[in-house]
Structure 1
Amino acid sequence: MLINQKNSELKNIVILATGGTIAGTGEEGKTTNYQAGNLDIQTLISSVSNLDKIANIYGEQIANVDSNDITVNHWLTLANKINELSKQEDIDGFVITHGTDTLEETAYFLDLTVKTSKPVVLTGAMRPSTATSADGPLNLYQSVALAASDLSIEQGCMVVFSDGIYSGRNVQKVNTFKTNAFSSIEFGCLGYMRDNIPYFFNKSIKPHTIDSQFDISKLNQLPKVSIAYFNIDADPSILKYFSQSSEGIVIAGAGSGTFSTKWLQAIESLELKGIPVVRSSRIGSGIILEDDAMDKYNNCIPSYTLSPPKARILLSLALTKTKDYGEIKNIFAEY
């Protein structure tokens, strides 16, 4: 694929569309009861004023779904597509349009699996395209501008939303309906977008993209990892149930990744089955460190600052490399 260079002075950016609210339509002016993934990529591109003045654009439709319907197959397709296209000298960066509900998961997966130093930026919208003051056009405009900026090279996979720039590792959706729905909580954003100009102030120091050890080029699926949510009087039999079909389990624990004595006892049997258990937290911020009481079994692994969904992604990728508990612990400490 060669970009049609309408302006040789501009960067060439590929937009890969997956659907979501940014491509959604509904009753004119309303922000609810809309259908996600209704607009195709060309309609989406043409709806953004002056997009052609900041980059030469090529659009490709990867999917057109609600982000709750994104699958591992979509992830593998996206990562392999980016890895393939990034080898072309005439392509300078990538933008992925995505629904917001699972955007942070896709961002982290790509952060760990794309093999390019070229900018990769995800964005979406909290309001459908037919809503009054739809936020999608500005988010897409700023994402293309960021992907076209030399400042974005080697920054890993990023997310642009409501004027903020976030790392794929640390970004989280923190609001169910406001347009400033994303944050990096205690880590802060990488920087800000003002119109088409990025201002960087922070940088993610965790391994990503070309420095990541994970290679998905020959995979057509990923090891299954399930997430169990702990609450008062939660039945530990859910762990046994998950162990029948999963190669690993993440527990969204209370506080600093803790759970009851009954749950801890259930984990002992999982150690014998060769199933790693990652302790994360339902809290949403803070750090989970090794704990002698909670990590009394070799298969217990702290998630550090990863949320349960992101811990699931890292564990799944780690299992493509090793099943050794000690090596998986090292991976979580590194990433």
Structure 2
Amino acid sequence: MILINSKNSELKNIVILATGGTIAGTGIAGKTTNYKAGNLDIKSLVDSVPSLDEIANISYQQIANVDSNDITIDHWLTLANRINEISKQSDVDGFVITHGTDTLEETAYFLDLTVKTNKPVIVTGAMRPSTATSADGPLNLYQSVALAANDLSKGQGCMVVFADGIYSGRNVQKVNTFKTNAFNSIDLGCLGYMRDNIPYFLNKSIKPHTVDTEFDIFGLKELPQVSIAYFNIDADPLIIDYLAQKSEGLVIAGAGCGTFSSAWIKKVKELETKGIPVVRSSRTGSGIILKDYAIDKSTNCIPGNTLAPSKARILLSLALTKTRDYSEIKRIFEEY
């Protein structure tokens, strides 16, 4: 249970769950580089945003305070279970998750598949630390709280707010290493825009999410291990053997439309006898992976649809909590 500080009964009650990242980072005043991520606690972060208490009643909790490269599956399970628990409170209207940008898209997709509430769940972060000139974190946090407090956000799944854009947790990708508009959804577009505290929705994700998914992580202590193999010219097929020793499933970041060499095709076929499913994704960052009759000769080779390799890994891992049947896993990738 979390205590809600309802100062204004006319405002929505929003819970901020903090995990660290650049948005909570500090460094040399004015500089955007060589800072320490996850250095501010959530109270300091909230206090730095002007007028936040004018758009919602804010409560907060520190789940972690780390660089997002140090986020683990344990963090994911803790975060999703915490949201599922708190969302049962009638006096909670929505959630905002503060997160580092490097793995933000992965956490957003995991929450999109595992959170069991129609209440808004918004993930945000920053490309500049809090001590930088023109730090972007305060506006991103302000707009995320505003979106979480807006009735239009109900039932939209986990969303990401960044640089005035609204993105679905499924489709969002980090596309730049340092610019403040570092996120978009490539071919699939944004859901809409934020202008100050007002959302303007233009699109909607039709893929199942949150309460409509078949995934239940309650009681889970870990997820099946899934690894990613990156294909390139003359890539050693023994990479597949190595990863298969440690994994229950494998994602291949293939060339073009998820393709790879005949030597890799042979290795994938060998994994079929070991009961290891292999998902074909693409290193290109956009497009769709459909059945390729030249490559998908093995029943365990599964097209990854529009999911980037890191997100295909998440879906395959969750699928393996339910089934080991190749046809069922294919159905899951077609559906989600």
Same fold (TM over 0.5): yes
Distance in 1, Cα, partners of 2:56 & 2:297: 54
Counting only pairs closer than 5 Å after superposition, residues 270-281 of structure 1 correspond to structure 2 as 270-281=271-282
Structure 1 residue 57 displacement after superposition: 0.3
After superposition, what is the alpha-carbon deviation per residue over 1:47-67, rounded to whole angstroms, capped at 9, x for unaligned? 000000000000100000000
**Which residue identity does 2:150 align to in structure 1?**
S
1:159 match: 160
Matched, 1:238 2:239: yes
Matched, 1:190 2:191: yes
Structure 1 residue 304 displacement after superposition: 0.6
Counting only pairs closer than 5 Å after superposition, residues 256-271 of structure 1 correspond to structure 2 as 256-271=257-272
1:127 match: 128
1:301 match: 302
Structure 1 residue 268 displacement after superposition: 1.3
1:333 partner SS: helix
Counting only pairs closer than 5 Å after superposition, residues 137-176 of structure 1 correspond to structure 2 as 137-176=138-177
2:254 match: 253
2:167 partner SS: strand
Counting only pairs closer than 5 Å after superposition, residues 39-118 of structure 1 correspond to structure 2 as 39-118=40-119
| Counterpart contact for 1:117–1:153, Cα < 8 Å | yes
Following TM superposition, the consecutive aligned residue runs of length 4 or more in structure 1 with deviations greater than 3 angstroms are none
**Which residue identity does 2:334 align to in structure 1?**
A
Structure 1 residue 226 displacement after superposition: 0.1
Structure 1 residue 260 displacement after superposition: 0.2
Distance in 2, Cα, partners of 1:222 & 1:266: 25
Structure 1 residue 2 displacement after superposition: 2.8
**Which residue identity does 1:73 align to in structure 2?**
D
| Counterpart contact for 1:13–1:94, Cα < 8 Å | yes
1:203 match: 204
Distance in 2, Cα, partners of 1:178 & 1:273: 44
| Counterpart contact for 1:95–1:121, Cα < 8 Å | yes
**Which residue identity does 1:278 align to in structure 2?**
V
Query: For the aligned residues, what is the CA RMSD?
Result: 0.4
Distance in 1, Cα, partners of 2:39 & 2:227: 31
| Counterpart contact for 1:104–1:172, Cα < 8 Å | yes
1:9 match: 10
Tell me, which stretches of 5 or more residues in structure 1 are unaligned?
none
After superposition, what is the alpha-carbon deviation per residue over 1:210-268, rounded to whole angstroms, capped at 9, x for unaligned? 00100000101000000000000000101111111100000000000000000000111
| Counterpart contact for 1:174–1:183, Cα < 8 Å | yes
Structure 1 residue 114 displacement after superposition: 0.1
Distance in 2, Cα, partners of 1:4 & 1:279: 47
Distance in 1, Cα, partners of 2:219 & 2:213: 16
| Counterpart contact for 1:186–1:285, Cα < 8 Å | yes
2:45 partner SS: helix
2:26 match: 25
| Counterpart contact for 1:129–1:136, Cα < 8 Å | yes
Matched, 1:311 2:312: yes
After superposition, what is the alpha-carbon deviation per residue over 1:82-130, rounded to whole angstroms, capped at 9, x for unaligned? 0000000000000000000000000000000000000000000000000
Distance in 2, Cα, partners of 1:268 & 1:117: 41
**Which residue identity does 1:19 align to in structure 2?**
G
Distance in 1, Cα, partners of 2:304 & 2:5: 45
Distance in 2, Cα, partners of 1:317 & 1:209: 13
Distance in 2, Cα, partners of 1:141 & 1:70: 24
| Counterpart contact for 1:190–1:201, Cα < 8 Å | yes
| Counterpart contact for 1:278–1:303, Cα < 8 Å | yes
After superposition, what is the alpha-carbon deviation per residue over 1:21-40, rounded to whole angstroms, capped at 9, x for unaligned? 00000000000000000000
Q: Output the TM-score relative to the length of structure 2.
A: 0.99
Distance in 1, Cα, partners of 2:263 & 2:187: 32
1:146 partner SS: helix
Q: Output the TM-score relative to the length of structure 1.
A: 1.00
Tell me, which stretches of 5 or more residues in structure 2 are unaligned?
none
Size of the aligned set, in residue pairs, is 335
**Which residue identity does 2:177 align to in structure 1?**
T
